[in-house]
Structure 1
């Protein structure tokens, strides 16, 4: 995958410095998503976002995608994926958390960004084809993985906030490595990344901040300490130790 080329803009601060929840917002009255420990911790303590790449890693239902979606929508990105300047909607499913967030933005930063949301990219491809520009390929004519790589080539090209929700869903091992290279270009060009992932390959990106999400809420950790990494290591070493618990050995 060719390297991303950025417009030359340098910011002293990242696009988003801190995320908090407005205590007066009606979201506090909702049992969901406030019942999710990570969201409750965000509401109580706020979250400082480091420059560069931050990964949220955790089990399904832990709240990582809910937080990424909320930050993306509050920043002004389309909730079903895309930039701040193109809006499309098929069936709204976003939580009320986004409307309740307050983002402290970096001084002097712009508003460019992109939300790559794996589960809704098909709809974004259709929207883009209906409003195609000269640089837009025919996304629907590509494989799932190729279309994701095309998005990286054509949209991850300027300083800004890039929110990704499980982008590895469409990518092979080698393409995931290519995504890491793209995220590195984003950071070197003055951009900031917030990404929810299940991928131990992606989470191994050097220099990234890792927040493990679970019943404890949010906690900073290292790649080697992630439960995800420990499980993958154990599974690859001896798959049968896991499979015997999920397969009917008598069949």
Structure 2
């Protein structure tokens, strides 16, 4: 998938955010103000950074601006369990590529339960082919969190799609994360684009992905080995006893 074929090419602030809006204080917002645009150049983009910098808020804003339900799901999902999402989508513009995606999904780890519940509710109501058939045929509530997430990826992601994932590692073991990477590769080969917020050093190793790190100072593209996530994890795994001893003194 060439750069010009990406479904989302860039994101930028297009309206001033009021001072009384909490978004104003997020590092991601102040950083977006400093740059003309946040450019996406690869089929797989990882957005990383410490808790509180606004990764999930940015991911959510992009998804809602592209027409996805704020709590997750495909374009066709329109349920609302709790109005907890921000209104960032009202202040950003998402630059679209020349091609339109044929499939898409927004995954929020914290509200995937609500997506599963909505599928069960709609199927119970009847009136059409079972929706769960597109998710492997077994209720997502009858599987573990990790199994249900992989059922989603294996059965519902069709290719030629835009897939926006917020911290997918929350559901997955290290082995399952590596399995997810295999599916991402398959879907990228089928002209899909992924935008993923993550804390996982394993996911960040995906070949030829771009890693965008958000800090209090700015947003920059870096090698995954330069991220604090990778550095701290490697340091810990190289000498776990020493790290634990230092931490618990």
Task: Calculate the TM-score normalised by the size of structure 2.
Answer: 0.89
Any conservation in 2 of the 1:84–1:111 contact (CA below 8 Å)? no
Pairwise CA RMSD of aligned residues? 2.0
Which ranges of structure 1 fall in alignment gaps of 5 or more residues? 1-8
Deviation of 1:39 (Å): 1.9
- Kindly report which structure 2 residues correspond to 1:19-168, keeping only aligned pairs within 5 A, or say none: 19-23=11-15, 25=16, 27-45=17-35, 46-110=37-101, 112-131=103-122, 132-133=130-131, 134-136=133-135, 137-168=138-169
**Does 2:171 correspond to 1:181?**
no
Deviation of 1:110 (Å): 3.3
Give the match's secondary structure for 1:180.
helix
Any conservation in 2 of the 1:13–1:109 contact (CA below 8 Å)? no
Q: Deviations over 1:153-193 (max 9, x none)?
A: 12211312211111011111111011111111221111111
Which ranges of structure 2 fall in alignment gaps of 5 or more residues? 123-129
Any conservation in 1 of the 2:116–2:141 contact (CA below 8 Å)? yes
Deviation of 1:217 (Å): 2.4
Q: How many residues align?
A: 238
Match of 2:238 in 1: 237
Deviation of 1:91 (Å): 0.7
Change (3 A) 1:235 1:11: closer
Give the match's secondary structure for 1:29.
coil
Q: d(CA) in 2 for partners of 1:10 and 1:221?
A: 20
Worse-superposed segment, 226-235 or 210-219: 210-219
Report the structure, 1 or 2, having the larger helix content. 2
Task: Calculate the TM-score normalised by the size of structure 1.
Answer: 0.88
Q: d(CA) in 2 for partners of 1:146 and 1:191?
A: 22
- The structure showing larger relative contact order (alpha-carbon pairs under 8 Å, at least 6 residues apart) is 1
Any conservation in 2 of the 1:140–1:147 contact (CA below 8 Å)? yes
Match of 1:198 in 2: 199
